Amino acid sequence: MAEIQKLLPVKANKEKKKFSLLYVDDEATNLRVFKANFRKFYNVHTSTNPIEAIEILKQENIQVIITDQRMPEMTGTRFLEKIRPDYPDVIKIILTGFTDIEAIKDGINRCGIFKYITKPWNFDEMKGMLERAIETYQQSITSEEHIKDLEDSNQELEGRVKKRTEELKEINKRLIDSIRYAGLLQQSMLPNDRYLSRQFKDHFVIFETKYLFSEEFIWTTRLHFRSEDYTVVVLIEFDGKGIVGSLKTLIADSVLGYLTHDRKIFHSGELVNELKHELDAAGSDELSCKIKVSVAVFDHNAHTLQFSGIDQDMIVFSGSTKSQVLKGDSVEHFEDAIADKIVIEPDASYYMFSNGYYNQENEDGVLFTYEKFEEMLKSIKDRPMSEQRHFLLSNLESWKGSKKNLNDDITIIGFKL
């Protein structure tokens, strides 16, 4: 990108929009380090206290706020709660030295927190997070037309309803806001194409939702520490009857980062069990929901793949004809000490997926089936991943025929290491 910008005319550079960030931290050294790292990418405003930061918000058009949690005048979450009514669209990020799942839950619901990052942060992690924050902000702006359609539908509904109380209007507005926010957060959590291109030699992702939000998501990370080198890929599906499952995906995103980056867990079975334990501890019985999950841990030093799953499989194609289905267990028979382990072979293709694709019905109510899905993957495995994605989506449209709506969310990731 830097080389392209050098070739552009001076006038074009002047007209290029720079997004604006506000970083609030009572440590002036932290502010200077942050500004030195990111001022060439963004308009960076800094403040050592929340009161001054509020004045900056009044004067500047800020898209992203990054705030430290522990400050003398007020906590970061209290600051974000205070500004949320006046700046609902600003993307909000918390920095802290402590990992607290309950604080994450509380922040998501009360303060509108986009992401929770533990200190010390590194440049690549922060830059990637800021890029996703800006993408989410732009998605929020461009989704206004879709929200307008929802609001128009509400007005039409109100015209048919004779009695409408102010309390019901407020409930309806909050519901729309919650759905919109949950959908935007989920989209931002998905690893973007640029990030996946750094992780994999080739890849594709299909993420199709039945509603504005989904109960499914994909998570991946690459970790280097000491002499170790791992890639972890996780696909999760919740059965939470709607918005509960959607909110669970937000919590699972932070839990997975904690388990891998902080606790350094790289046994697939242990990751599944610890993920379930943390999710159960993070909510009441009313928020409980079933989980289907698959975890793949690639050890690049040992050249091995370790797989564990609950009600989800992983399909691996290597060579010209060889294929393996790594089967997930039922939740009743899952044991954390057991994991399928295979050798990573050159140019192998890996597929992780929810049951959404093969559970789609055609116009006659017939399911596509798992067997057809597996055979279809086998028939296209040698094509470039982008062509595979196009084929799968085209085949889905052909199968549904005149039936336009999905009857289940669809999540698939295919990749080569």
Cα distance between residue 333 and residue 345, in whole Å: 29
Architecture of the CATH domain 17-140: 3-Layer(aba) Sandwich (3.40)
Where exactly are the structural domains of the chain?
17-140, 143-181, 190-416
User: What per-residue confidence (pLDDT) applies to 163?
Assistant: 61
User: Where do we find the tokens 């706020």?
Assistant: 65
Q: Is the peptide bond before 120 cis (omega within 30 degrees of 0)?
A: yes
Q: Convert the pLDDT of each residue in 366-405 to its tens digit.
A: 999 999 999 999 999 999 999 999 999 999 999 988 887 8
Cα distance between residue 244 and residue 179, in whole Å: 11
- Looking at domain 190-416, its CATH superfamily turns out to be PPM-type phosphatase domain (3.60.40.10)
Q: Which two tokens stand for residue 256?
A: 């997975």
Listed ranges 183-187, 205-209, 224-228; the one with the highest mean pLDDT:
205-209
Q: Convert the pLDDT of each residue in 123-165 to its tens digit.
A: 988 899 899 988 888 887 776 666 777 777 777 777 666 566 6
**Confidence category of residue 3, pLDDT binned at 50, 70, 90:** very low
DSSP assignments along 321-353, one per residue: TEEEEEPPBPTTT--TT--EEEEPPTT-EEEEE
CB-side exposure of 140: number of CA atoms within 13 Å? 22
Cα distance between residue 30 and residue 2, in whole Å: 26
* Equal fold, 17-140 vs 190-416: no
Inter-CA distances, 58 with 22, 46, 86, 167, 342, Å: 12, 14, 10, 31, 57
User: What per-residue confidence (pLDDT) applies to 245?
Assistant: 67
User: Kindly report the CA angle at 237 between 249 and 175, in degrees rounded to 5?
Assistant: 50
